[in-house]
Structure formats: structure tokens, C-alpha cells
């Protein structure tokens, strides 16, 4: 982990119908850091993700990605700037093959025009070959390259999670957002997921922000944490310190 700041968020706020969903949210994440965003259900975690990715526009605050303020940009523009995400409920192109799910995300990086595609000109074949190679290399990272031609909906649950992360990485992000990646996984799948996230961080020099309720996973891979409660930051700092904070324990377990 370096001292370079990839994401810096200052005083981020948004309300829905008079309800303050996120209030004065601040966070900074260093390059190659795995950072956890945790909190009880309804605390505002996914709302923060939606703010970071342009789904919602904040009422106040700034979002700096490698020093550039991205507030006001739409989802596509923010993805091009370098933020990719996965979702709590897996969102794959279920009727497409595994490799085509990844190639869709590579489309921005390999260009040929309509005529070149229709006539199958040299540029078309060059781009398709490069996309196949990059997509297969990504699938190898997740040990699912042998399933490249399988329809995505036929993959086991844990492998669908891996495919969704592979597709996000295909956009070549600077920051990867994982929304409850261990949701619905058994203990063995969660352990494998932890190893995968660490591998992604190391092989891609990736910076990762994740939302998660599985505290074993959080303690196992997150260097630092921020805890949200009712839209406000309850605690922030090193993982062990935060998880031993009396206010954090109270928020999760009650008095």
C-alpha cells in the first residue's frame, strides 16, 4: 500500500424526501488498499456506492478520484474515469457466455466501426482477437477460463460472483467497488473469495472499497474500515480498533 490517495471524499450528503440518507461522509483510500465500509442494514452504505458511481447526485460534498472531482458526471463517464463496481444482487448478462460477459466490458478499449464489422475487415479481426486474449487472461485469474463458453446463468453461484468481478476489472478501473461480494456464499466459497480479492489487489495493483456483513472476511482482508450508522460516520480507522469500538459494537448488537 502506497501513500498515493486514489479516492478522497469530503462532506458528502444526500437526502430522500426529507430523510438524510448520507450526512457529511468523509473517506480517503490509498492505492492498493482494501478498505471496508460496514454498518447495520439501512445505514447508507449502498447509497454511498450509488453516489460514488453517479447513480445519485449528492446535495453537497466532493468526490475526488486521483485528485479529479467527478461529482456531476453520469455513470458511464465515471466508469471511464476509473470506477467500476459489482452489485449485491449479481447482475450478469445471464444468457450470454462467460467470455462474452467480459468482452462487453472491454468494448471501450477496442474500437472498430460498423462497416469494418459488417465486412469483417482486418481491423475487426484484430480487435476481436485482442479482446479474446484479454478476456481469457482475466478469466484465468479467477480460474474460470475453462468455462469461457458456458452460459453465465449456468455457473454456480460462487463462480458467478467471480465473473462479475472479472467483468468489472475488464473496464480497467483505478478503484473497484464490491457490494457485499460474500452475500449468499458458504464458508468455503467465502474463503476462496478472500483469496481472490487479495489476488486481484496484488496482480492488478488494484484499490478496493467493499461493503460486507461477513466480519471474518472484513477482518481477514481490510486494512481500514469506516462504519456508517443512520447515514453518519460512526467510527473510522484501523480494522481492529474500529471493530473493538464500543459504539460500533452497540450499533450492531444493541445495548
pLDDT tops 90 at residue 226: yes
Calculate the CA 144 to chain-centre distance: 19
Q: What is the mean pLDDT of the chain?
A: 90
Sheet containing strand 83-85, edge to edge, reads 83-85, 175-179, 207-211, 34-38, 224-229, 232-238
Residue among 104, 175, 165, 109 nearest 138 (CA): 165
Joined grid coordinates for residue 42 = 439501512
Return phi, psi of residue 233, to 5°: -70, 120
Predicted confidence at residue 180, as pLDDT, reads 92
Over residues 181-210, the mean pLDDT reads 92
Q: Which of 166, 191, 216 is the last residue before a domain boundary?
A: 166
Rounded Cα distance, 37 and 88, in Å: 14
Predicted confidence at residue 118, as pLDDT, reads 64
Residues 199 and 78 in one domain: yes
Residue 51's domain comprises 1-82+173-255
Measured distance between the N- and C-terminal CA atoms of the chain, rounded to whole angstroms: 37
Q: Which of 145, 166, 187 is the last residue before a domain boundary?
A: 166
Cβ–Cβ contacts within 10 Å for residue 12, how many? Answer: 22
Total domains in the chain come to 2
Residues 253 and 219 in one domain: yes
Q: How confident is the model at residue 250 (pLDDT cuts 50, 70, 90)?
A: confident
Stated pTM of the model: 0.89
> Which position has the higher pLDDT, 47 or 129?
47
Over residues 27-36, the mean pLDDT reads 97
Predicted confidence at residue 56, as pLDDT, reads 95
Amino acid at each position: 500500500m502506497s501513500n498515493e490517495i486514489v479516492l478522497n471524499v469530503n462532506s458528502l450528503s444526500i437526502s430522500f424526501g426529507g430523510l438524510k440518507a448520507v450526512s457529511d461522509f468523509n473517506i480517503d483510500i490509498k492505492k492498493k488498499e482494501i478498505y471496508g465500509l460496514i454498518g447495520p442494514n439501512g445505514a447508507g452504505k449502498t447509497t454511498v456506492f450509488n453516489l460514488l458511481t453517479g447513480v445519485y447526485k449528492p446535495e453537497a460534498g466532493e468526490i475526488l478520484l486521483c485528485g479529479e472531482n467527478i461529482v456531476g458526471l453520469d455513470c458511464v463517464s465515471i466508469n471511464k474515469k476509473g470506477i467500476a463496481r459489482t452489485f449485491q444482487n449479481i447482475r450478469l448478462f445471464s444468457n450470454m457466455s462467460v467470455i462474452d460477459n467480459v468482452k462487453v466490458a472491454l468494448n471501450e478499449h477496442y474500437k472498430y466501426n460498423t462497416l469494418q464489422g459488417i465486412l469483417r475487415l482486418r481491423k475487426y479481426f484484430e480487435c476481436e482477437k485482442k479482446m479474446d486474449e484479454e478476456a481469457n487472461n482475466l478469466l484465468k485469474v479467477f480460474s474460470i477460463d475453462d468455462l469461457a463458453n458456458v452460459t453465465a446463468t449456468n455457473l454456480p453461484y460462487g463462480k458467478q460472483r467471480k465473473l462479475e468481478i472479472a467483468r468489472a476489472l475488464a473496464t480497467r478501473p483505478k478503484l473497484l467497488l464490491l457490494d457485499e461480494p460474500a452475500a449468499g456464499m458458504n464458508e468455503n466459497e467465502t474463503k476462496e473469495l478472500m483469496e481472490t480479492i487479495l489476488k486481484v489487489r496484488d496482480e492488478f495493483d488494484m484499490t478496493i472499497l467493499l461493503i460486507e456483513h461477513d466480519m471474518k472476511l472484513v477482518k481477514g482482508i481490510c486494512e481500514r474500515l469506516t462504519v456508517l450508522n443512520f447515514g453518519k460516520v460512526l467510527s473510522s480507522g484501523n480494522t481492529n480498533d474500529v471493530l473493538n469500538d464500543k459504539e460500533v459494537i452497540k450499533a450492531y448488537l444493541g445495548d
